Chains A and B, each alone.
Chain A
Amino acid sequence: MIAVLTIFLLCLCVITALGVVRAGNLFTAVMLMGIYSLLMAAVFLLLDAPDVALTEAAVGAGISTVLLLSALSLTAEEEHAGGIEPVLAAAVVLITAAIIFYATFDKPPLGDPDAPVHRHVAADYVPMTQEQVDIPNVVTAVLATFRGYDTLGEVVVVLTAAIGVLFLIGPDAPQGRHAPSGNLAEGGLKHHQPLRIVGKIAIPFIILFALYVQFHGEYSPGGGFQAGALLAAAIILYGLLEGRHAAASVIHPAVLRTMAAGGALLFGGVGVTTMLLGGRFLEYNVLRDDPIDAQHLGILVIEAGVGVTVAGVLILIYHAFAARGRP
């Protein structure tokens, strides 16, 4: 039954992806892209990855749609025909497809427990989590403890992207001679009463859910990345309904910049603290006398750092896009 549902959803994914490429109106393409992400999130859930599904639903279907729409309001909505010869492009794509398609026959069947990907280090993560960390969500344990370096790196990448966006279209970035005057995203939907009222009812619950996902991430699907995206979604939704300035008065952009950098600093700071206490970088065991307690403390703090950075970065990026345009 689940296999049939997965096949059905994957076929819908292919159809929406084709729709995105074929749509002449970019607004349509962006909306289809949101549907594509949501379908993909459902597929991830069926493939036993609730953490990934939650992230994809919040980020792919929610925030990335908002960013794409704000970018469209600053550029153009219609796509003009052009580009390279479709026959040539199709030929390149078909040849590449044939090669990758041929390669799939060497892959182990879906769900094979003896596939190479399940051997080596991956096989040790569940027993190591039970022994050394003792939290039910193995994904959080791997993310925060066993692959803490990776996660720190990802957080810094996210922060770097935000710095890049601020340099390009932040409040101090120069504007070209074709800069649009005004911005639709700036004012919000003040004249759409039903949307405002219904939307505002949802915001407290989104924030509550974000906090639950943040602090319950060791026991159920979730963690800093998802919580940060959800919190950002709540603030961005408020900005969409009431205008950018209302969102800026909830959390001032200066605070957001501190959040974005501070979260990454907190994460790195935990690493330095463990070194000062005589352990290795991000070796949480030295934080407390009991190693399991120490792991829990370390995971709680670095997940908080991740959540704060992700929320700060995503809201900052929203402000950058929504504020663009000549005053």
Chain B
Amino acid sequence: MNHILNLFNYWVFVLLLMIGFYAVIARDNLVKKLLGLSIFQAAVFLLFISMGKVSGGTAPIVLDGDWDAIFSNPLPQVLILTAIVVGISTLALGLAIVVRIKEAYGRISDVDAPERRSGPP
């Protein structure tokens, strides 16, 4: 039981990563692919934050000058909080490309199927 608890977060990470990966490769709707990428990305966030957790620790914010308390690792948290904001910027860029594809081809799935290919206007 303890062994399961010790690695549970990492297993959920694998599951979420693979759910996102499946959406990216198996679905051809471009918005769905981007949603899959977002699930994938959040799974990586979960991995980093889980690794930073220290048993019996607290959030890395000092209360009442108690600098000797046990803190969880602040470094993964810094990396992930900036990654979240970068993540939405790249999602917006991806969505902008999808909007342009829709405007040019009239559809956002099957965009590279040869039998339906039509040039941009």
Mark A residues whose CB is within 8 Å of B. Answer: 3, 6-7, 10-11, 13-14, 17-18, 20-21, 26, 29-30, 33, 36-37, 40, 43-44, 47-52, 55-56, 59-60, 63-64, 67-68, 71-72, 74-76, 79-80, 82-84, 86, 89-90, 92-94, 96-97, 100-101, 104-105, 107, 109-113, 115, 117-118, 121-122, 125-127, 130, 136-139, 141-143, 147, 150-151, 154, 157-158, 161-162, 164-165, 168-169, 173, 175-180, 219-221, 223, 225-226, 228-229, 310, 313-314, 317, 320-321, 324
Contact check: which of B19, B97, B103 meets A178 at CB < 8 Å? B103
Cross-chain contact A154 with B25 (CB below 8 angstroms): no
Cross-chain contact B19 with A313 (CB below 8 angstroms): no
Taking CB atoms, residues of chain B closer than 8 Å to A7 are 5, 8
Given contacts A17-B20, A20-B39, A40-B42, contact A75 B77 (CB under 8 A): no
With A and B bound together, what is the CA distance between A71 and B97 in angstroms?
10
Cross-chain contact B29 with A79 (CB below 8 angstroms): yes
Taking CB atoms, residues of chain A closer than 8 Å to B29 are 26, 79-80, 82-83
With A and B bound together, what is the CA distance between A179 and B99 in angstroms?
9
Contact check: which of B19, B54, B93, B105 meets A165 at CB < 8 Å? B93
With A and B bound together, what is the CA distance between A92 and B21 in angstroms?
10
Taking CB atoms, residues of chain A closer than 8 Å to B59 are 48-50, 221
With A and B bound together, what is the CA distance between A47 and B9 in angstroms?
10
Taking CB atoms, residues of chain A closer than 8 Å to B107 are 76
A38 CB to nearest B CB, Å: 11
Cross-chain contact A60 with B84 (CB below 8 angstroms): yes
Given contacts A126-B67, A168-B93, contact A93 B61 (CB under 8 A): no
Contact check: which of A112, A137, A161, A225 meets B82 at CB < 8 Å? A225
B92 CB to nearest A CB, Å: 5
Cross-chain contact B81 with A139 (CB below 8 angstroms): yes
Cross-chain contact A51 with B77 (CB below 8 angstroms): yes
With A and B bound together, what is the CA distance between A60 and B80 in angstroms?
13
Cross-chain contact B51 with A178 (CB below 8 angstroms): no
Cross-chain contact A10 with B72 (CB below 8 angstroms): no
Q: Interface residues of B toward A: which range?
A: 35 or more
Taking CB atoms, residues of chain B closer than 8 Å to A126 are 60, 67, 71, 74
B28 CB to nearest A CB, Å: 4
Taking CB atoms, residues of chain B closer than 8 Å to A92 are 25
Taking CB atoms, residues of chain B closer than 8 Å to A225 are 81-82, 84-85
Contact check: which of A150, A169, A226 meets B96 at CB < 8 Å? A169
B40 CB to nearest A CB, Å: 10
A284 CB to nearest B CB, Å: 17
- Tell me the nearest residue of chain A to B107, going by C-beta: A76
With A and B bound together, what is the CA distance between A84 and B110 in angstroms?
10
A78 CB to nearest B CB, Å: 9
Cross-chain contact B22 with A82 (CB below 8 angstroms): no
Cross-chain contact A75 with B98 (CB below 8 angstroms): yes
Cross-chain contact B35 with A139 (CB below 8 angstroms): no
Cross-chain contact B31 with A68 (CB below 8 angstroms): yes
- Tell me the nearest residue of chain B to A223, going by C-beta: B81
B37 CB to nearest A CB, Å: 11
With A and B bound together, what is the CA distance between A71 and B121 in angstroms?
21
List 3 tightest A-B contacts by C-beta distance, closest first.
A176-B103, A161-B89, A111-B55
With A and B bound together, what is the CA distance between A179 and B40 in angstroms?
30
Given contacts A168-B93, A229-B85, contact A93 B22 (CB under 8 A): yes
Contact check: which of A76, A89, A109, A154 meets B7 at CB < 8 Å? A109
B13 CB to nearest A CB, Å: 8
Cross-chain contact A93 with B5 (CB below 8 angstroms): no
Cross-chain contact B85 with A55 (CB below 8 angstroms): yes
Contact check: which of A26, A110, A127 meets B31 at CB < 8 Å? A26
Interface residues in B1-53 (C-beta closer than 8 Å to A): 5-23, 25-29, 31-32, 35-36, 38-39, 42, 45-46, 49-53
With A and B bound together, what is the CA distance between A225 and B79 in angstroms?
12
B41 CB to nearest A CB, Å: 9
Given contacts A37-B42, A126-B71, contact A147 B78 (CB under 8 A): yes
Cross-chain contact A176 with B75 (CB below 8 angstroms): no
Taking CB atoms, residues of chain B closer than 8 Å to A176 are 100, 102-105, 120-121
